[in-house]
Structure formats: C-alpha cells, structure tokens
Amino acid sequence: MHRLIDLDHAIRAWIVGHRIHALDGVMVALSVIGRGGRVWIGIGLVLWAAGRLKWRRLAELLVALALTSVMVDFVLKPLIDRHRPFTSIPSVSVLDTRPNDASFPSGHAGNAFAGATVLAQAVPAWQPVWWALAALIAFSRVYVGVHYPADVIGGAAAGSACAIAVLLASAVLTRSGVNGT
C-alpha cells in the first residue's frame, strides 16, 4: 500500500511539475465547469430541449449526479478523510481555488463519469465526446493541484457505479411499469 501511495504522489508531482502554461486556463476552465456536475446538467438540458434526450434519460442523469454527489461528498470523503496535496505538501502550486473538504474521492471526477455513463447510454453516437470530457475534467483536478491521481480514479469508479445503479434501477422500474414511460 505504501508503494501505491508513493506512486500516487510521484505521478501528481510529475503532472504538476510538467504543466504547459498555454493549457493552464483550459484546465482551470475544465475544473470550473465540472463543479457539481453543472456541465452535465447543461448538456442534458440542451439535448432534452433539442429532442435528442428523452425525459427519462434526463431524469436518470440528474439522479445519477445527485447520488454521486451524496455518495462522494457525504459518505466517502468523510469516511476516508484523505488530505489534499496542498495540505499535505504546502509547497504544492494550485491554479484554482483550494477546496476545504477531503481529497478522496474526487467529486468532479465522480460527477464527470456519472454524466458520461448515462449520456453514453442515452446518446451512444457521442460516446467519445462524453468519455473524453469526463477524462479531461478528472485530469484537470490533478493538473490544477487539488487532487492525487488515485482521487480521480476513485471518483471515476464511484460516479460510474452510481450511474450504473441508477440505470439498472430505472430499467427495472420501466419493465415493471412503475415510472409511467
């Protein structure tokens, strides 16, 4: 376990130490749009308004994001209570705001992968876009200096799991005729 933590620290240090100044603003912007799943909510609403997303899929997206936020922010982060890089290593350069909560798992990554998981089912032709956006949002959190790589991997896993649970529950409810669609 100690070796994995050392590797996690080394990868974070390498990413932060090899930032490309021209990408700094892009990475901060990705972090900003990823807060609270807002980019996924916006995409879902635009797709729904354009007739490309059914109401049920929009509801699944919103529930998956809410479940992920609750699971990550109110269950896993307090339970694991991992310090953020800038708390553990005060010399860490941070490009964005410094969050006050725990580091593991990343809420941004959780919401990104929850959103991508639902939208990949809803609009499969755009899967490369959903997965690329999710990966970029997750990576941005390490790049800006507020997470370790394991935090975003853990967030991605949590978000994907929450989204899959929502999709499975929705499918069961649909088959049983409970949700009325």
Do the domain assignments include residue 20?
Answer: yes
Do the domain assignments include residue 129?
Answer: yes
Structural domain of 67 = 2-176
pLDDT cut 70: percent of the chain above it: 98
Q: Which long-range contacts (CB under 8 A, 24 or more apart) does 75-79 make?
A: 76/104, 76/105, 76/154, 76/158, 77/101, 77/102, 77/103, 77/104, 77/105, 77/107, 78/102
Do the domain assignments include residue 103?
Answer: yes
The CATH number of whichever domain residue 103 belongs to comes to 1.10.606.20
Separation CA 65–CA 111 (nearest Å): 6
Separation CA 107–CA 34 (nearest Å): 9
- pLDDT value for 151: 97
Q: What is the pLDDT of residues 137-146, one digit of tens each?
A: 999 999 999 9
- pLDDT value for 38: 95
Q: Do 114 and 163 form a contact (C-beta atoms < 8 A)?
A: yes
Do the domain assignments include residue 123?
Answer: yes
**Whole-number average pLDDT of the chain:** 94
Q: What is the pLDDT of residues 47-105, one digit of tens each?
A: 999 999 999 999 999 999 999 999 999 999 999 999 999 988 888 789 988 989 999 99
- For residue 37, pLDDT over 70 is answered with yes
Structure tokens at 39: 């980019």
Do the domain assignments include residue 181?
Answer: no
Do the domain assignments include residue 77?
Answer: yes
Report the sign of the C-alpha dihedral through residues 172, 176, 177, 179, in that order.
negative
Residue 164 class from Cβ within 10 Å (0-12 exposed, 13-18 middle, 19+ buried)?
A: middle
Do the domain assignments include residue 97?
Answer: yes
Q: Which of 59, 71, 74 is closest to 158 using CA atoms?
A: 71
Cα separations (Å) of 5 from 82, 105, 146, 151? 11, 14, 16, 11
| Range 86-110 burial, b when 16+ CB lie within 10 A, else e | beeeeebeebbeebeebbbbbbbbb
Cα separations (Å) of 178 from 170, 174, 181? 9, 6, 8
Q: Please give the tally of structural domains in the chain.
A: 1
